[in-house]
Amino acid sequence: MTISVIDIFSVGVGPSSSHTVGPMRAAKAFMESLPHAPAKVHTELRGSLSATGKGHATDRAVILGLAGWAPLTVPIDAKPLAGSFIPSEGTVEGPAGSVEYSIAFNNKPVPEHPNCLIFSAWDENGEEIATNMEYFSVGGGFVLSRAELDAQLQATHEVPAGMAAAQNNDNAIPYDFSTGDQLLELCDEYDMTIWEIVAANEAVIHREDGGLAKVNAHLDLVWDVMRECVTDGIATKGILPGGLQVNRRAPQLYSQLLEHQDDPASGFSAMEWVNLYALAVNEQNAAGGRVVTAPTNGACGIIPAVLHYARDFLPDFTRETARRFLLTAGAIGMIIKQNASISGAEVGCQGEVGSASSMAAAGLAEILGSSPAQIENAAEIALEHNLGLTCDPVGGLVQIPCIERNAIGAVKSINSARLARMGEGTHYVTLDNAVQTMAETGRDMLTKYKETSIGGLAKTLGLSVSQVEC
């Protein structure tokens, strides 16, 4: 089973991949599955999608998906606007025409998965044309239908990782791997780098629709969107939408860094710029801007921040360098997704920031000239030291602790890559050990720490999802 790097790094809108991007895709997929356009659609949001659905703009995403918009193409200013009051019923217009909608929130999850959407539809005569059609948003913008989810449950007897949305079953790839150990064995056997292994697989996966040229073009788009996100985040002042009144910090931090950039007393200049890049991206995400799922929206600032670090503080950075970084990082994301999860609702923030930090560490280790063993070590270090990290967004918003956490995660990635570079790649804990532990820790983690905003900081600060309306 192979996940494409195109699916690991997809372009969408904030603030959440599982709660915004995934539901928009699910709503659009549901509409396209119907024999004809309905006059009315009812959507029930279950579990985590309900608990933090307001703060994560899940209702807006569903409405836009019903109207025919996709995360890649939806205008940032499409109505209903991000941060505005979203009526629970009304009419929306878009590329698919006009449709009447209603949305209900039910915090009780379905047994199989915490992120479920249930759709029903009627025609203009009031005749029901679809009843209780279930879709599941399983992290990183990946979506499964009920049939796809049941198939995975039957095959693995575990919480699905969402691979059905990105699997390649038609073309046998030349270098099949699902674990870190298998990946290292392939690198050793064929004397190839990790990014070369992934590139060769991608060429086969996409041989019917452009091959490696398509993949490279997508990776270039990913890098362009990341750079635009940093630029826009630095340039945009004001208060982030929602009830917390969180002020954008990136513009002020940028001014401070410019003022003191030649100060010889500063020994942390690079780290401070990395902080800026991560904050800028995640503030854009929190405002509903266009970002890259890397591998999720909640952790979307880490890989861009580390890539900008490589661009600004390492020599000879080019587009080809960015591609190698992303292909290497993508390999780690594939391993984590197949063997654990990248969803905060499934395993907590260790699956989001932990995964992104691990991926970024691997990507940076590659462009530092590390061996495959050192790259695997870098990924392991970063993931190991995010194990147990909870997801407790204050007020149901992807702002506190999420924005600062991306900055910390980015710096941790750089340290992991540099620490691994100092060794030979030999280490006691493997990446596979860390991934397995993350999956087990996620299964043991209480629901209140998995993107429900009913525990952790959300509870301590007295700002549960019932108290902050967005």
At residue 164, the pLDDT reads: 36
Q: Are 319 and 226 in contact (CB under 8 A)?
A: no
DSSP state of 20: I
Of the pLDDT bands very low, low, confident and very high (cuts 50, 70, 90), residue 162 is very low
As a whole number of angstroms, the longest Cα–Cα distance in the chain is 74
The yes-or-no verdict on residue 75 having pLDDT over 80 is yes
Residues of the chain with CATH 3.30.1330.90: 14-156
Q: What's the number of CA atoms in the CB half-sphere (13 Å) around residue 121?
A: 20
Say which residue, 426 or 346, is predicted with more confidence. 346
Q: Which residues contact 140 (CB under 8 A, 6 or more apart)?
A: 7, 8, 10, 17, 18, 22, 162, 293, 295, 296, 337, 342, 343
At residue 168, the pLDDT reads: 43
User: Per-residue pLDDT averaged across 115-131, rounded?
Assistant: 97
The yes-or-no verdict on residue 261 having pLDDT over 80 is no
Q: Give which of 300, 298, 306 is closest to 378, Cα–Cα.
A: 306
At residue 153, the pLDDT reads: 80
User: Per-residue pLDDT averaged across 340-357, rounded?
Assistant: 96
Average pLDDT value for the chain? 93
At residue 203, the pLDDT reads: 97
The yes-or-no verdict on residue 272 having pLDDT over 60 is yes
The yes-or-no verdict on residue 266 having pLDDT over 90 is no
Residue 104 pairs in a beta bridge with 44
Fold of 14-156: 60s Ribosomal Protein L30; Chain: A; (3.30.1330)
At residue 243, the pLDDT reads: 87
Q: Are 199 and 216 in contact (CB under 8 A)?
A: no
Of the pLDDT bands very low, low, confident and very high (cuts 50, 70, 90), residue 166 is very low
Do you know the residue count of the chain?
A: 470
Residues 76-95 have pLDDT tens digits of 999 999 888 999 999 999 99
Of the pLDDT bands very low, low, confident and very high (cuts 50, 70, 90), residue 154 is confident
The yes-or-no verdict on residue 149 having pLDDT over 80 is yes
* Burial label, 332 (beta-carbon count in 10 A; 0-12, 13-18, 19+): buried
In percent, the amount of the chain with pLDDT more than 90 equals 88
Q: Are 13 and 294 in contact (CB under 8 A)?
A: no
Residues 124-145 have pLDDT tens digits of 999 999 999 999 999 999 999 9
User: Per-residue pLDDT averaged across 30-34, rounded?
Assistant: 97
At residue 152, the pLDDT reads: 82
User: Per-residue pLDDT averaged across 36-65, rounded?
Assistant: 96
Residues 439-460 have pLDDT tens digits of 999 999 999 999 999 999 999 9
User: Per-residue pLDDT averaged across 407-417, rounded?
Assistant: 98
The yes-or-no verdict on residue 469 having pLDDT over 70 is no
DSSP 187-226: HHHHT--HHHHHHHHHHHHTTTTTHHHHHHHHHHHHHHHH
User: Per-residue pLDDT averaged across 187-195, rounded?
Assistant: 98
At residue 165, the pLDDT reads: 37
Q: Which residues of 28-50 are buried (b: 16+ CB within 10 A; e: fewer)?
A: bbbbeeeeebbbbbbbbbbbbbb
Q: Are 287 and 241 in contact (CB under 8 A)?
A: yes
Residue type, 151: A
pTM confidence score: 0.93
At residue 51, the pLDDT reads: 93
Residue 119 pairs in a beta bridge with 43, 133
